[in-house]
Chain A
Amino acid sequence: MTFKETLANQDWVVTCEVAPPKGVDMKHVLEEAELLRGKVAGINVTDLQAAAMRVSSLATCSLLKQKGLEPIMQMVCRDRNRLALQSELLSAYVLGIRNVLCLTGDHTTLGDHPDAKPVFDLDSVSLLRAGQGLIEGKDLAGNELESVPTDLFLGAIVTPCADPIEPQIYKLHQKIEAGAKFIQTQAVYDVGAFEQFMKRIPEVKTPILAGIVLLKSAGMARYMNANVAGVTVPDDLIKEMAEAGEKDKQAKAEGKKGGHKVNTSIEIAARLIRDLKPLCRGVHIMPLGWGHHVPAVLEAAGL
């Protein structure tokens, strides 16, 4: 089933992201994707995430497609102008890729080539508009296409726990107006804040999948609070992770088996998923290197 069909037919859907390697060995990313077979509605492939040079989302999505998996190609506006972006949408389509998540992208200065020229000829909204235009048979300049990628399925992101929230809501409306048919969100740790966000947009019928980022440690949670926009990990979750970390340290000192941190992380993610279930149409899991723990998260969440 395509991601679009799953969204139309199921009340609750799960997606998960994988990241291409910095190099040419695709074994690890394909193994991570394989773990998700039959468990998720779509697999997002990040596009030079954190502005670091690596294998493209397009190539990785194509490999997933060949293996019968359902890729969701992420596309950022940092590295290509409007010709290249539109061309890549067509290229993805001819390779069988249908789902595209459109993002603005981190700035080049945050990545591993900080001296590179940032493009941003388009942004998330105008990229969605470009994709929607292709679906309707025209490129951004208004030229007719000889054949049309009618089944392209476009999505966008939103940061639901940002402060202030109004600019996010304004832009979400722009994105939906421009052609977004599904929404995946930035990480949610505060279910109350997410509920408030959902209450503010009752008119939005586009399916929203809440973002789940696996917490790896208390340190990571504190780092995100200090450095990641619109993400706040509540103190009680940090405390839970810190206590699990202490238990691991103690176990190591006593020569016993640890794993408390991993278990706690899985438990927290599963709890968040269960709490989010009545509020939205699904979750989007971003494991950030912990892809091998995702099946356990889904199991613990009862999915």
Chain B
Amino acid sequence: MIASERKPLDEILGQLEGEANVFVVACDGCSAGCQVSDPDHTEQMVKELEEAGKTVTGVARVEMVCNSGLTALMLARHLSSVNQADGLLVMSCGVGVQSVAAAVEKPVHPATNSIHLGGFQGLWRSEARCAQCGDCLLDYTGGICPYTACSKGLTHGSCGGPMDGKCEVDPSIPCGWERIYQRLAALGKADRLQEMPLRLRDFRNMLPMKERRRTSLWALELFEEPEAAEEAG
């Protein structure tokens, strides 16, 4: 299981700037178990978006968003409301966000930070990986994760190594940043590569923090009630 927690509303609204119409994709797998994308919290998210002046064109619940075939199928059922949206907000782990990015030619935004692998994993899309960095930047990078798609995990664009769009480490792998560039160019957003904010990875986000140990998702792993964990902590 991939444990995740919701990003703060301000960060989510920052990602959605200039996008009045939003379609929400919520996962019924791991992130629902973490009480991030379960029906109650999804409803809460929709409410917060609407209060912030957004129009939510629709909500799709998908059993496991990381299952790209299933996700594409579910999104197809909501085709018109997906088409009405300027972008999609994805409430799942980083793999799910990349799965949605691969299915639709629209900006996708992560509503969560993926923190760590719990007991078992959901399905991996073979070309999408989540490093559980705890600071999801898929919004900046067109729904393709540079930590895992780039052999060097670079955060400010390609190195000088790619040859004909292939990685210097293995010519059978496409350059992650070339994919990101192509994706952003297709969305008309390549300009943002020029003004990317400085991204320094905070490696503490990968550690289970004291505060997180007190949360329900951590307790879930320990098979304890949140209250019990708090008392013990």
Contacts and interface: CB of A to CB of B under 8 A. Distances in A.
Q: How large is the interface on B (under 10, 10 to 19, 20 to 34, 35 or more residues)?
A: 20 to 34
A122 B203 CA distance: 12
A118 interface: yes
Nearest to A129: B198
A104 B154 CA distance: 9
A140 B201 CA distance: 12
A120 B152 contact: yes
Interface stretch (A38-46, A164-172, A247-255, A266-274): A164-172
A124 B156 CA distance: 8
Interface stretch (A13-21, A62-70, A105-113, A256-264): A105-113
Contacts of A167: 157-158, 177-178, 181, 193
A229 B157 contact: no
Contacts of B199: 126
Contact of B155 (A82, A123, A227): A123
A211 B50 CA distance: 55
A129 B170 CA distance: 29
Interface in B60-83: none
B151 A171 contact: no
Interface string B157-170: 11111110000111
A275 B66 CA distance: 54
B117 interface: no
A229 B162 contact: yes
B103 interface: no
Nearest to B177: A167
Contact of A109 (B158, B169, B177): B169
Q: Chain A at the B interface: mostly helix, strand, loop or mixed?
A: mixed
Interface string A21-41: 000000000000000000000
A107 B181 CA distance: 21
Contacts of A157: 160
A174 B151 contact: no
B2 to A, nearest CB: 23
Nearest to A76: B159
Interface in B198-214: 198-201
Interface string B222-233: 000000000000
Given A124-B156, A170-B190, A174-B156, A227 B163 contact: yes
21 contacts: A103-B160, A106-B168, A107-B152, A107-B168, A118-B151, A120-B153, A120-B154, A121-B201, A123-B152, A123-B155, A123-B156, A129-B198, A164-B181, A166-B181, A167-B158, A167-B178, A167-B181, A170-B157, A170-B190, A174-B194, A229-B161
Which 10 A-B pairs have CB atoms at the shortest separation, nearest pair first? A125-B156, A170-B193, A171-B157, A104-B159, A120-B152, A170-B194, A123-B154, A229-B163, A167-B181, A173-B194
Interface of B: 151-163, 168-170, 177-178, 181, 185, 190, 193-196, 198-201
